[in-house]
Chain A
Amino acid sequence: MKKKIAMYWGAGCGGCDVSLLGIHEKLLDVLEKADIVFWPCATDFKYEDLEKMEDGEIDIAFYNGAIRTEENEKIAKLLRKKSKILVAYGSCATEGCVIGLANLYDRDEIFNAVYLDNETTPNEKKIIPQGMEKEGIELPEFLPSLKTLEQVVKVDAAIPGCPPPSPVLEEALNALLEGRTEFGKEVALCDECPRKDTKPDKIEIERFYRWHEKEDDGSCFLAQGMICMGPATRAGCGGECTSAGIPCTGCMGPVPKVENQGIAMLSAIASIIEDMDEEKERAVMESIKDMVGTFYKFSTAKLLPYGRFKDES
């Protein structure tokens, strides 16, 4: 029997939806084995159609995007109920992705930046969108912090990547259609990076460089003193960025069994720097700017699920 699949888009960019179209002709093969019963981005089914389904009627539901509003949360729970297997699809759903960086700020700060304290927005009446009660227009509540799918409902499988690179996606789809929920590589990106032969055990540098500050000589980025998330990032993309002259920023998330990608990377960096005197060492460390944005670009929501802490004093 054909499987019933669903795809839903929470707070994300839509790139995950596009990535599903991005397997091109192979999508037609998938459609031979499965019917799409719910996919708001590409088909005309509405929420009611989903609500009417039996519990567990959907065989595999893919949820991409994070949980940012009440509405996202509601649909996540609804999909959980209606599906046998719920898959977190892409970095937003699994790790919170770059939009998780919003957890460094609170809700009011975000509203201020957008609506009040914004150079092209005069907004003399200081209006902040909240719906129009008398008209019955509601806007879904913006939650205090951004969450990953797993932080809200139980998830059976995850497809990493922002968005999942085609080979990763194809492998995952095949596995899922066969009923398997474990797939993907168990090693770090360095393992399949075209620059891996030049990866050093130790580096001696004066400071870290940012990629726009230095010509790329084609060797391992860490050897060149540029931070590359390769050692702490799961393999699968084949080194898309490192092949194109940009260090890995970690979109595939941590290597399986490693919980905390950012800490793993931070630790790796501390280990490969040559021993040096304390002053110099401090200067090297200080040349790394924006720790959270560097090490947790794709996983701030996991580091700060409730948002930034407020340690008084």
Chain B
Amino acid sequence: MSFEPKIVAFLCNWCAYAGADMAGTSRLKYPGNMIAIRVMCSGRVDPEFILEAFEKGADGVFIGGCHPGDCHYVSGNYRTRRRVEMMKRLLEEMGINPRRLRLEWVSATEGQKFARVVKEFVEEIRQLGPSPIKKEEAI
């Protein structure tokens, strides 16, 4: 049985979400097994959401934000970068592969980049296999 990874993506309204749109309208292909959640700024992604996404069954969590210096709320994306860095270390200590969490800067015009990084990420998760958190939940 082939494993289709479930990805939850938190996308900043101003950049990554627009980038995703662009990827869609210019009919670039990217895998469809992704649930996109629009946020006003990547800085709104509370680490608790990340953990919750995993607990609810995500195999990977993707966060897309504006490039450094471009955040509409000045430094939301820097905060996100620090949070993600810390979350990765926490996940690792919890016994979860930190590669299941990915942060990317994608501007509104980078539809192509968006498609590429998401595809890469899905591939990576496919290789990692299903998240162990889900498995535990099933017990």
Residues on A facing B (Cβ under 8 Å): 104, 259-260, 262-264, 266-267, 269-271, 273, 275, 278, 281-282, 285, 288, 290-292, 295, 303-304, 306, 308-313
Contact = CB atoms under 8 A, between A and B. Distances in A.
A263 B94 contact: no
A173 B77 CA distance: 46
Given A263-B46, A270-B83, A281-B78, 14 more contacts: A262-B90, A266-B90, A267-B47, A269-B86, A270-B47, A273-B82, A278-B68, A281-B82, A288-B86, A308-B95, A311-B97, A311-B100, A311-B132, A312-B129
Nearest to B77: A275
Interface string B79-100: 1011101110110011111001
Nearest to B50: A263
Nearest to B136: A306
B128 A291 contact: no
A308 B95 CA distance: 6
Nearest to B54: A309
B136 A275 contact: no
A169 B127 CA distance: 51
A312 B82 CA distance: 26
Contacts of B139: 306
B132 A104 contact: no
16 contacts: A104-B93, A263-B51, A264-B48, A266-B87, A266-B90, A267-B48, A267-B83, A278-B68, A281-B78, A282-B85, A285-B82, A285-B85, A309-B133, A309-B136, A311-B100, A312-B129
The winner among B82, B89, B131 for most chain A CB atoms within 10 A is: B82
Contacts of B89: 285, 288, 291
A40 B2 CA distance: 56
Contacts of A275: 75, 78
B73 to A, nearest CB: 12
B47 A313 contact: no
Chain A at the B interface: SS class: helix
A41 B100 CA distance: 47
A290 to B, nearest CB: 8
A222 to B, nearest CB: 15
A137 B94 CA distance: 36
B95 A309 contact: yes
Contacts of B86: 266, 269-270, 285, 288, 291
Interface of B: 46-48, 51, 68, 75, 78-79, 81-83, 85-87, 89-90, 93-97, 100, 127-129, 131-133, 136, 139
B93 A292 contact: yes
Contacts of A288: 86, 89
Contacts of B97: 311, 313
B27 to A, nearest CB: 34
A137 B64 CA distance: 59
A184 B97 CA distance: 38
Given A104-B93, A308-B95, A313-B128, A263 B82 contact: no
A206 to B, nearest CB: 15
B90 to A, nearest CB: 5
Contacts of B90: 262, 266, 291-292, 295
Contacts of A281: 78, 81-82, 85
B12 to A, nearest CB: 17
Contacts of B129: 312-313
Contacts of A285: 82, 85-86, 89
B80 to A, nearest CB: 8
B51 A304 contact: no
Contacts of A313: 97, 127-129
**A-B complex: 4 closest residue pairs judged by Cβ atoms:** A309-B95, A270-B82, A308-B95, A309-B132
B51 A270 contact: no
Contacts of B94: 292, 303-304, 308-309
A272 B82 CA distance: 10
Contacts of A104: 93
A95 B98 CA distance: 25
A273 B128 CA distance: 33
A278 B2 CA distance: 38
Given A285-B86, A291-B89, A309-B136, A266 B75 contact: no
